[in-house]
Amino acid sequence: MLKMKRIYEPAAPDDGYRILVDRIWPRGVSKEAAHLDLWAKDITPTTEIRKEFGHLPERFDWFRQQYLDELSRNPAMDGFIDTVRAQLTKGNVTFVYAAKDPAINHVVILKAFVEERL
């Protein structure tokens, strides 16, 4: 199963393979406490669209279109999807992120994008 989880929530055995999908390291979290298997900075939104979005709900549709465009052109996506696919044969994969809102963030978009291609 492909899951999402805030990095500020404790890691759990059922998280499986944990991938940080943020470009910037989350504040206040040590690398040891994060319990990550991979940090996938190269598939995250560019700084430009991330800053313009600013996590404002009224900008989310615009952000979704911009990020989907970036994902579809990102040469790192094929390898990322291959990694996710391979890890899913062993158990769960959890996309870990720092955003406060669990519904209005880039991970929702990324998860749907990856699931469509698995």
CA angle (39 as vertex; 118, 23 as ends), nearest 5: 100
Kindly state the percentage of the chain with pLDDT values over 90. Answer: 99
Mean pLDDT over 67-95 rounds to 98
Domain span at residue 13 reads 2-117
pLDDT at 28: 94
pTM: 0.95
The model's pLDDT over 8-65, given as tens digits with 9 standing for 90+, comes to 999 999 999 999 999 999 999 999 999 999 999 999 999 999 999 999 999 999 999 9
CB 13 within 8 A of CB 20: no
pLDDT at 32: 92
**Distant-in-sequence, close-in-space partners of 2: CB < 8 Å, separation ≥ 6:** 84, 88, 92, 93, 94, 95, 111, 114, 115, 118
Task: Give the total number of structural domains in the chain.
Answer: 1
